[in-house]
Amino acid sequence: MKIISEKYTSLQNFSETFKNSKPFPHIVFDNFLDKSFFSELDTDKFTIEKFKNAHLDTFLERNKSNSRNVDLSNKIRILVEELNSDRFVNELRKLTGIDELFQTSVGNTALSNYHEMYQSGFVGTHVDHSSEPETGYPHVLNILIYLTKHWKESWGGSTILANKNGRKIEKIVNYIPNRAVIFLHSPFTFHGVQELNNNEKKRSSVYVDYYSKNKQPYKHLNLDFKNVWFKHPATFILPGISDYFKWKNRSYLKRMFKHKIKSILA
């Protein structure tokens, strides 16, 4: 069964585009999945909405469900397996120049490989967890694939890429069905999802992350920010300065403070 489109069998030729893209290395691939595989995906029927334990509804991650510890549908599982295959990871090494790149085996248990978002959902600007759950190796790369089959631009749900302090949106990657976005993950690659508007349809996506056995994984890249990795939890940017001083936001403040100190010392 062909899963990824023929066009993206070899990723070497996209390497320069990936490395030189701003605000940080990334690439967008349209019609990423093989046409017939994409058309057979069952994300419209499959839902994780009922798993309330994985449903997030805070003021920084609104109306979103993730699939942690939820059995994925057969098709989504096959797709995630393909993204974690040695063959594909090897292509990602060529794309990124990260020779010691590897896939995690924790899968959809400690991490969440499938996400759904509903009416007025959004994800505030953030960086993800810094480390592989079992080994602690650096988290260096993400792939997102937009799976909902029909989507209008006016419905929102674009992925945003921000500058090094997460305060300014530098790039908007619109949610277009069967589009893949691959982007570097570092302590300074802030990203998020724009709010969904007037939309009865859910926004589905697959997410797989990758790690490096090298603790200085970005050395070969020319970045607009500190070329370092350090340990940090998922860290969100709060909308306004005053938000940091609200009692309900104290855990966000704590994480941001840790991140700041570590980035100064790094």
In the window 66-105, what residues touch Fe ion (CB under 5 A)? none
Residue 81 vs 128, nearer CB to Fe ion: 128
* 263 vs 141: CA distance, rounded Å: 19
**Helix or strand run (H / E) with residue 263:** helix 250-265
Question: Residue 128, interface with Fe ion (CB under 5 A)?
Answer: yes
Residue 128 vs 170, nearer CB to Fe ion: 128
Residue 15 vs 21, nearer CB to Fe ion: 21
138 to each of 10, 59, 103, 229, how far by Cα in Å?
A: 25, 28, 11, 7
* 162 vs 61: CA distance, rounded Å: 17
Considering the complex, what minimum distance in angstroms separates the CB of residue 128 from Fe ion? 4
Considering the complex, what minimum distance in angstroms separates the CB of residue 129 from Fe ion? 9
Question: Residue 56, interface with Fe ion (CB under 5 A)?
Answer: no
- 160: helix, strand or coil: strand
- 208: helix, strand or coil: strand
Neighbours of 155 (CB within 10 A): 19
Asked if 131 contacts 137 with a C-beta cutoff of 8 angstroms, the reply is: yes
Contact region with Fe ion (CB under 5 A), list: 70-78, 121-129, 176-184, 208-216:
121-129
103 to each of 72, 177, 186, how far by Cα in Å?
A: 18, 25, 16
Asked if 220 contacts 97 with a C-beta cutoff of 8 angstroms, the reply is: yes
Give the side-chain half-sphere CA count within 13 A for 160: 20
CA dihedral sign of residues 40, 18, 229, 238: negative
Considering the complex, what minimum distance in angstroms separates the CB of residue 126 from Fe ion? 6
Residue 23 vs 34, nearer CB to Fe ion: 23
Contact region with Fe ion (CB under 5 A), list: 35-43, 77-85, 120-128, 256-264:
120-128
Considering the complex, what minimum distance in angstroms separates the CB of residue 191 from Fe ion? 6
The residue type of 219 is: K
Question: What Rg, from alpha-carbon coordinates, does the chain have?
Answer: 18
Contact region with Fe ion (CB under 5 A), list: 34-42, 82-90, 123-131, 156-164:
123-131
Considering the complex, what minimum distance in angstroms separates the CB of residue 143 from Fe ion? 12
Residue 82 vs 128, nearer CB to Fe ion: 128
Contact region with Fe ion (CB under 5 A), list: 20-28, 93-101, 125-133, 175-183:
125-133
Residue 128 vs 243, nearer CB to Fe ion: 128
Residue 15 vs 233, nearer CB to Fe ion: 233
Contact region with Fe ion (CB under 5 A), list: 126-134, 208-216, 246-254, 258-266:
126-134
Binding site for Fe ion (CB under 5 A): 128
